[in-house]
Amino acid sequence: LTTGPDTRREVDELAGRIMNALLAPVSVDGRELTVRGSIGIVEGPAGERSPAEVLRSADITMYRAKSAGGNRFELADPEADARVITRHGLTTALPAALERGEFFIEYQPLVHLGDGSVRGAEALVRWLHPQHGVLGPDRFIPLAEHTGLIVPLGRWVLEQSVRQARVWRERYGESGAAGPLRINVNLSPCQLTHPGLVQDTVEILERTGVAPDALCLEVTESALIGADDDLLKPLRRLAEMGVDIALDDFGTGYSNLANLRRLPVSVLKLDRSFTQSMQQFPADPVDLKIVEGIVALAHSLDLAVTVEGVETGAQAEQLRILGCDTAQGWYYARPGPPDRLHELALVDATG
């Protein structure tokens, strides 16, 4: 706590002197040690904020300096403080949110590019937060992974999604020309290492009476790069049961052909970056060749190809010509409640 520095330069000089003082070697029991420090700086008129608020801001800023590599100082940023406080609040609220039923699932249809039929849907979890409203998975899934809550949350999403798939099959699948609807559920890398993954999946399928081939588990390409046999073992067991495994965001990682052959996947989901490049007219011929090559490779390995992020009819037609099997995106429908998908399926079935 100090008074006197009136300019940013003076503040920086003071922090620099403190850092240099910390760098001086210290002798302990005949051993020379070097101490490094991280400093968080909060400026402001006396009395503008309470001591507790000042200390909290300084602490947040100090940890920001540490996360940037340490041995440095950072100046407090109110917006960064607010993000950290919000993140901490969301992390703290996560366990109770699951107990209170604040999570819900929206579904985005998977459409067959050949005949336009609805073949299934991807389950996308949302959090209806009492203060912040509806939060997308990017706001809370990383927090759930960090705290370990991703395992019970993922189990809940899987069971709710499989139950919904059973409803769709009962109401539509048996009479639909395209066959039963399938549900796609995302798996976090943390769930892959959880020892109960296979047992949880088997129990949910048995409890709901849904066949394994109605379920597709999506795993990101980055999560499986360099995966050893121990990590792949549960996925292989699920695949042997009849559960489809999809390699999500394909094309964003560094998978090679040898790696692709050893993975127990049956579906490649091309990253939306491939479809975004097709928004221009005419489409970049190099991009088209890349997609065409990926599709040919996938089909030669008996893998289906799904494309994300389709927003226009022109994109859908181009992807159909290139041989992609199914697609999803706002061109067909935004993620929505389960009844919305049922309506789309009925329209498809009745023409």
Instruction: Express each pLDDT in 273-295 by its tens digit.
Output: 888 877 766 677 888 898 999 99
Checking if the pLDDT of 132 tops 80, the result is yes
Coil, strand or helix: which one is 215?
A: strand
Enumerate residues 6+ apart whose C-beta is below 8 A from 282. Answer: none
**pLDDT at residue 176 in the model:** 46
321 three-state secondary structure: helix
- On whether the CB atoms of residues 312 and 330 are closer than 8 A, the answer is no
Architecture of domain 92-350: Alpha-Beta Barrel (3.20)
DSSP 254: -
pLDDT score of 6: 67
What is the C-alpha to C-alpha distance for residues 289 and 296, in angstroms, rounded to an integer? 10
The interaxial angle of helices 78-100 and 150-168, nearest 10 deg, is 60
Average pLDDT, rounded, for the chain:
85
Check residues 136 and 85 and name the one with the higher pLDDT: 136
> How many Cα atoms are found within 13 Å in the side-chain-facing hemisphere of 41?
19
Extents of the domains making up the chain: 8-76, 92-350
Alpha-helix runs per DSSP H in 24-136: 51-67, 78-100
Identity at 145, one-letter amino acid code: E
pLDDT digits (tens, 9 = 90+) for 168-197: 888 765 544 445 589 999 999 999 999 999
The pTM assigned to this predicted structure is 0.78
- Strand, helix or coil for residue 124: strand
- pLDDT tens-digit map of 9-21: 878 888 888 888 8
Distance CA 296, CA 318 (A): 15
